[in-house]
A and B are shown apart, each in its own frame.
Chain A
Amino acid sequence: MTLKRINTVIVKEWREAFKGGKTFWIGTVALPLVLLGVSFFPFLYAGDLRGISTEETKELFEKVSMLFLTPLLFFLMFPMVIPHSIAIYAIMSEKEQKSLEPLLATPLRTDELFLAKTLASVLPALAITWIAFGLFLAVMQFLLPSTVLELAWQQFGSIWLMTLLLFAPLAATFMTLASMAIATRVSDLRTAQLLSSFAMLPILMSAFFLIFQNLLDKPALLGGLCAALLVLDIALLGLNVKLFRREEILTRWR
């Protein structure tokens, strides 16, 4: 396995995706930006809070603490929504352009192809999620007193870190592997998008349920969801390894 060949395929995937038109830009850039903007609204209504005393801060935090969970919704969504369109496109475009045979006629190995296609979807999803979280923290720094942020970090820090460092990679991998497996088996782009959206739903609904039931201050529940995702990822990895065999690609990917 050579990193150079993997890197070559990843760059090609991104180059194609960037030229993929508005569907790609809406799904991967515009939507996260809009959602991130929306997450600031509740804090903007809070007005200028930077001059308040420590006592007032604690009192205030009791009242607004739930506001910090709303943006979490988006950071749970990004790693699932972003790789969805990239992963489907990575397979469907090869099928539509009939470019798989010339590609497989090169020294590229199928495990390199699989890894490159997976990373080409997972890496942007993680990068966008983490950058969005960085922006969120930066804007919060500007809108809220540091004492409020400190309290928020004490209460939600572990949830945020679990979401960003555990849930996001697992969810992005799940969505990528599920989308690729579906895309190898259908011949129509819209069908692939629809079916992989269904695959996303149970995970997203579980995550949202945790938030709306105010269960997220119990990190073990999010940990449980991550464990379930890990099991699903391993199962999907096994499936994709079978689907990415050279003979399978040449004869069954239609």
Chain B
Amino acid sequence: MIIAENLTRRFGDRLAVENLSVEIAEGEVFGFLGPNGAGKTTTVRMLAGLLAPTAGRAVVAGVDVCAEPQRVRSLVGILTEHPGLYEKLSAWHNLKFYADLHDLPNAEAQIEKYLNLLGLWERRFEPVGTFSKGMKQKLAIARALLHEPKVLFLDEPTSGLDPESAKTVRDFIAQLASEKRTIFLCTHNLYEAEQLCTRIGLIKQRLIKVGSPQQLKRELYGRQIVVDLKEPITLSEDLRLPFVRDVQADGRRLLVQLDDPEAQNPLLIKRLVELGAQIQFVREHDRSLEEVYLDLIAEEKA
């Protein structure tokens, strides 16, 4: 649904995005992470037909963004970082304006559908300036969806929202993903990325890594097993089984690096029991996406 090949954008001497190549399948929720100024917004603008790339090409929803940017804009939906609504106009008139720009034949039915879906129908004739931040964000989401785009670009969709509103928006994004829409999600919220995204791309001018959250963790750290013991044991050569990549003792806790815990755990536990260890718990150490993100960005800086 989205194909980018060596997408590059310069602003004068400044390189904003360098040789970005990625393929995103239909129905995928692709998380796009990176520090401020890493080129996330520029990438979205290029993919959505708002800015022409300096070099490279991209095809979105089957349309070349360089050759037919206007057509791309009619096929994708964007939720920008700021809701960017007309505060003096009502919710209805805001959506009607955008529906008319998209030349929707069923504009009023679409407006009604999304205002109802996002719980704004009762306040449709009130000026948007009187809405809470969460309501404005919902209205901006409705605006992005009015023309039923197959591809959605969401830039910080839960930024600045209270936890309840943020959850509502996250649930709505999950619902959109279940409708087979392709979602390109820029976020700083790593919990959100981990919850929603099938794959994640890390950018800092160039794409550093792409993969599912699990893949990224495994690629960076391997798989680590945590064994909680009743009493500390001394690490000996006896524990160094051929498949154990690394082992560390931390008081009553053993941290063991394995390639295939599903197959190797029984052998590991058997050996520990043979060595007299009293095992209380065995579990996989689940690294957070935050650790992955910070380590990859630090690695890139280095």
Interface residues of B (CB under 8 A from A): 11, 45, 48, 50-52, 70-71, 73-74, 76, 78, 80, 82-89, 93, 97-98, 100-103, 127, 140, 143
Contacts and interface: CB of A to CB of B under 8 A. Distances in A.
B143 A102 contact: yes
A3 to B, nearest CB: 12
A46 B154 CA distance: 69
A99 B85 contact: yes
Contacts of B140: 102
Nearest to A7: B100
A247 B101 contact: no
Given A12-B97, A20-B88, A98 B51 contact: no
17 contacts: A8-B100, A8-B101, A12-B97, A20-B88, A93-B86, A97-B84, A98-B80, A98-B82, A98-B84, A101-B84, A102-B78, A102-B98, A102-B140, A104-B50, A105-B50, A106-B74, A247-B51
Contact of B97 (A8, A100, A104): A8
Contact of B70 (A4, A8, A107): A107
Contact of B102 (A16, A20, A106, A247): A106
Given A106-B101, A108-B101, A247-B51, A100 B84 contact: yes
Interface in A91-129: 93, 97-109
Most chain A C-beta atoms within 10 Å of own C-beta, residue among B70, B78, B84, B103: B84
A75 B44 CA distance: 49
A154 interface: no
A19 B97 contact: no
Nearest to A107: B74
B142 to A, nearest CB: 12
Given A101-B80, A107-B102, A251 B88 contact: no
Contacts of B143: 102
B84 A99 contact: yes
A250 to B, nearest CB: 6
Interface of A: 2, 4-5, 8-9, 12, 15-16, 19-20, 93, 97-109, 246-247, 250-251
Contacts of B87: 97
Contacts, number: 78
B177 to A, nearest CB: 21
Contact of A15 (B45, B74, B83, B93): B93
B220 to A, nearest CB: 34
Q: Give me the 4 closest cross-chain CB pairs, A-B, nearest first.
A: A98-B82, A99-B84, A19-B88, A8-B100
Contact of A101 (B50, B74, B93, B101): B50
A237 to B, nearest CB: 23
Contacts of A250: 45, 50-51
A16 B50 contact: no
Nearest to B82: A98
B73 A105 contact: yes
Contacts of A97: 84-87
Nearest to B140: A102
Contacts of B83: 98
A16 B88 CA distance: 6
Contacts of B45: 250
Contacts of B73: 105-107
Contacts of A4: 100, 103
A125 to B, nearest CB: 21
Contacts of B50: 101, 104-105, 246, 250
Contacts of B51: 246-247, 250
Contacts of A247: 51-52
Given A19-B127, A105-B48, 19 more contacts: A5-B100, A5-B101, A12-B93, A12-B97, A19-B88, A93-B86, A97-B84, A101-B50, A101-B78, A101-B84, A102-B80, A102-B84, A102-B98, A102-B143, A105-B50, A106-B74, A107-B74, A246-B51, A251-B11
A11 B70 CA distance: 22
A50 B93 CA distance: 52
A101 B78 CA distance: 9
Contacts of B71: 107
A4 B103 CA distance: 8
Contacts of A105: 48, 50, 73, 76, 78, 80
A98 B140 CA distance: 12
